[in-house]
Amino acid sequence: MSENRRVVVTGLGAITPVGNNVKDAWEALKSGKNGIAPITLFDTEKYKAKLGAEVKNFDPKEYLEINDILRTDRYAQFAVAAAQQAVDDSGVEGTVQPERFSVIFGTGIGGIGTFEVEHTKLMEKGPRRVSPLFVPMMIANMAAGMIAIRHDCRGSAMPAVTACASGSNAIGEAMRMIRHGYADAVITGGAEAAINASAVAGFTNMKALSVSDDPNAASLPFDKRRSGFVIGEGSVALVLEEYEHAKARGAKIYGEVCGYGSTCDANHITAPHPEGRGGTQAMLDAMREAGWTDSDRVYINAHGTGTPMNDAVETTVIKKALGEEAAKKAYVSSTKSMTGHMLGAAGAIEAMVCLFVLNEGIIPPTINLNEQDEVCDLNCVPNTAVKADIDLALSNSLGFGGHNACLAFRKA
């Protein structure tokens, strides 16, 4: 099998807090639209954290029959919808042998909404009232399985479950699958739907969430006032395809996935390594594979969660990977300031952003960045998008468990 096949993106789909298709989501991010608002999915009266970045106006009936909706967790509904958009956008269906068509789809938590509902039934009404569909609705591989069934993908169909790095790991592993000859096309990305009572309680009690009640003072990457992330939800899907296959069928090409780094801090279950050793290595690996040089004009979509430790450590990571001078020249923004932290879907929407940055030469802002922390002394594109031609776009994702992933993109 060939070991150096080029991999390109030929389809995109998006169900997000700022728009339920790719065009609307990208226009919102360029314009600095804030998708954060008071949580409506459950009663937050007893909760310190009351804000979330919810998907609005999503109708699963546009993508699924009613019987399928009733036996599908919200995270998988998002995934199926985004994947359908991406496959339609790419036109890949029917051009690839089913055995050469695969799925790798990330989620950090999977069907936690289903878990909460069914566990409540167990406690209140007894074991006979638990749904027989509890397990298939809850498990973290079901989004990948449902996508594979729908699109007749008979190659590998599996999840990436690496907390908040899941979406990026899914895309990176999909790239490797095509590069090393195991597939010709892969539907990939990430999905999450964890804005519910138990997940928000857990994140709040570990002091990970912002408890601000002001949507414009809650998700504050790189700002002195930052105090935690805002939980988001949604899904973004990408169709990755072998370059010659895509070119031969005249496919639209958004860009090339040209580098990937995946490492572990091997340090702590939630905190990043204080010197950023794993994140630095992931960036270096992705940059090396992408052929980075000092002359490259670089954009970095930062992990940028708005937690005090993460943003400071990631600044160190970027400086170590690029070197101080190149790091100061690079454009760095955190779109989590608008989408909140979409957990297992974060890496996927941020990959989408990188592709549009390359194609349009517009850098989306880090909104509400009014008091930039001196420790986070990079060009973090405060509040307003800027125009800039970019050669190399990098997306960083860091997850509980010490997982680090970096994706690198160029124009094809």
Determine the Cα–Cα distance for residues 206 and 13; give it in Å rounded to an integer: 33
Determine the Cα–Cα distance for residues 222 and 234; give it in Å rounded to an integer: 24
> Looking at residue 231, what DSSP letter applies?
B
Contacts of 331 (CB under 8 A, 6+ apart): 298, 299, 300, 363, 379, 381, 386, 388, 390
Alpha helices in 100-230 (DSSP H): 112-125, 134-138, 142-151, 166-179, 197-205
Determine the Cα–Cα distance for residues 189 and 137; give it in Å rounded to an integer: 19
Token pair listed for 281: 């290595």
Residues marked active site are found at: 164, 303, 341
Determine the Cα–Cα distance for residues 159 and 154; give it in Å rounded to an integer: 15
Got the DSSP string for 355-399?
HHHHHH-EEPPBTT--SB-TTS-SB--BSS-EE---SEEEEEEEE
Determine the Cα–Cα distance for residues 254 and 7; give it in Å rounded to an integer: 11
Is 14 in contact with 28 (CB distance < 8 Å)? no
Between helices 142-151 and 74-90, what is the axis angle to 10°? 40
SS3 helix, strand, coil % of the chain, rounded to 5?
A: 40, 20, 40
Residue type, 280: T
CA end-to-end distance (rounded Å), the chain:
23
